[in-house]
Structure 1
């Protein structure tokens, strides 16, 4: 059974500067189905930084952008970033930063993929 994610020191430091309590992570970052594969066991976010990947309720825009930027920096050094991103696109995951992309960025990627698939169908 996976251990629950712990809050990162970065999140605690940023939020203490903002005078807010520490973020509560809504759910651990694990695949929805076991057949998604073991990629999640090697994810950087499974260690100490999971609090960066999901927004606390009523998070101000500046804090959200800062948190998402920090999450993306961790994703950039993650050995399973591509697998995580594909998982989030296939599911599709509606919240959080997965594979270096926010939910809004993932919606753009999915729209582009649908458009390309339509163009390919028309061309054949």
Structure 2
């Protein structure tokens, strides 16, 4: 289920915003903060849909998001990520 109130449940909500808007190797630290976030998909969809250029959002750097947007310029990111989450959490059917 998609969480419209995702920002209030983000793993980074208590951290300093400057921790997510870093360069170079510091981005890996920011991405670790996102790793276990329960609303990672919502955050990433927000950044992709709005083409946010700076910072780490949903576990992806601006460079990673630009590459994704370039490969899929017309994607509806909320739908893509919601479907991916549903498929990842659905039990696998035997014999399919």
TM norm. shorter chain > 0.5:
yes
1:93 to 52, 66, 73: 52
| Structure 2 unaligned spans of 5+ | 76-96
| Structure 1 unaligned spans of 5+ | 1-35, 56-63, 117-124
Matched, 1:113 2:80: no
Q: What TM-score, normalized to structure 2? A: 0.67
Q: Which residue of 2 aligns with 1:40?
A: 7
Q: Secondary structure of the equivalent of 2:12?
A: helix
Quick one: distance in 1 between partners of 2:67 and 2:25?
A: 21
CA RMSD of aligned residues (A): 2.0
Q: Which residue of 1 aligns with 2:29?
A: 70
- Higher RCO by CA contacts (8 Å cutoff, separation 6 or greater): 2
Q: What are the superposed Cα offsets for residues 41-87 of structure 1, whole Å, 9 maximum, x if unpaired?
A: 100111125321113xxxxxxxx222100000111111111110011
Q: What TM-score, normalized to structure 1? A: 0.53
Quick one: distance in 2 between partners of 1:47 and 1:105?
A: 24
Q: Which residue of 2 aligns with 1:51?
A: 18
* Stretches of 4+ aligned residues off by more than 3 angstroms: none
